[in-house]
Structure 1
């Protein structure tokens, strides 16, 4: 849309599990990776990776599109996955990636995507939905807090590079 506006209620959320939907998600995923400083790569590599993750049930992939008679490419992407929750002998879900094209932000796509992930997690019996974001990403923190997410105190985030 030329004016970057999304009419209220005009978003469609799609769970990506077909070749067509994963190809559309791949375009957004490439934008997302470039946004975080990763070099562009071939769409075949991106779509192959997303397809592998979706088919192995390692990631659930969702896109948000603006409803239109002609159909439009997606404007937003979210990925999530289930994680074993040992202490409660259940599982929780983690929201891994959330990205909305810059010209389509603050129009409801991010809220719709997080809501779709939350609903899928609840349907799957998850005990909670978690996420990690940079401490200086005020826009994301504001969005997540507005959706009910709360900081987790008393934990340290550690990583071991295996590459």
Structure 2
């Protein structure tokens, strides 16, 4: 989805609440502002202060520079969920790997198949683009998400450890 890769066509999923369309988000998409509002809600959900203007600007820049690609689930003209992805080189395979960075469904739309549809949309597009794999990470106590991911076919990666180094503010590395 990023790095010049775009989702194929939007896909749809039916539900008793109506049809949901999965559409790639660009900064010029008619519902981009609603997408930014939901992304800000997502940040608040994870403990960040609301910052709608900054969120909108950040998303616009990330999408425009192809650092991040996004798709939104739209039902009855309302953005009810989204997924973001980065594409990275898979150097040992001489290919690419897609990394799901964010997946969020508005509380009123959970358990309606939207998260599943967003995930499958990305997996389908990654396969169409020739990606070697799709990866994601979540908290170990996020049982609903882990259940969804494993039901779709994601598996834990044994033998790898996630390490982080905070560089804000920038620091000198010896």
TM-score w.r.t. structure 1 length? 0.89
Structure whose residues are more often helix by fraction? 1
Asked if 1:11 is matched to 2:16, the reply is no
Inter-partner Cα distance in structure 2 for 1:154 and 1:51: 36
- 2:86 corresponding residue in structure 1: 81
Equivalent of residue 157 in structure 2, options 141, 145, 152:
152
In structure 1, what is the equivalent of residue 140 of structure 2? 135
- Cα offsets for 1:16-50 (capped at 9, x unmatched): 01433321210110010000000001x32211111
Unaligned runs of 5+ in 2: 1-14, 169-174
Normalization by structure 2: what TM-score? 0.84
Q: Which residue of 1 aligns with 2:129?
A: 124
In the TM superposition, structure 1's runs of 4+ consecutive aligned residues that sit over 2 Å from their partners are 18-22
Alignment of 1:31-70 (within 5 A): 31-41=41-51, 43-66=52-75, 68=76
Contact residue 65 and residue 75 of structure 1 kept, 8 A? yes
Name the CA shift for 1:9/1:84 in 2 (closer, same or farther; >3 Å).
Answer: farther
1:69-94: per-residue Cα shift (whole Å, max 9, x none)? xxx22110110010111101111000
Structure 2 residue aligned with 1:22? 32
Q: Which residue is equivalent to 1:3?
A: none
User: What secondary structure, in the 3-state scheme, does the structure 2 residue paired with 1:78 have?
Assistant: strand
Are 2:27 and 2:63, in contact at CA under 8 Å, matched by a contact in 1? no
Runs of 5+ unmatched residues, structure 1 = 1-5
Q: Distance in 2 between matches of 1:146 and 1:8?
A: 23
2:149, 2:17 → 1: CA distance?
20
Two-structure CA RMSD over aligned residues (Å): 1.3
Q: How many residues align?
A: 153
Contact (CA 8 Å) 2:85, 2:99: kept in 1 or not? yes
Matches within 5 A, 1:77-116: 77-116=82-121
Task: State the alpha-carbon separation in 2 of the partners of residues 26 and 65 from structure 1.
Answer: 13
d(CA) in 1 for partners of 2:80, 2:87: 24
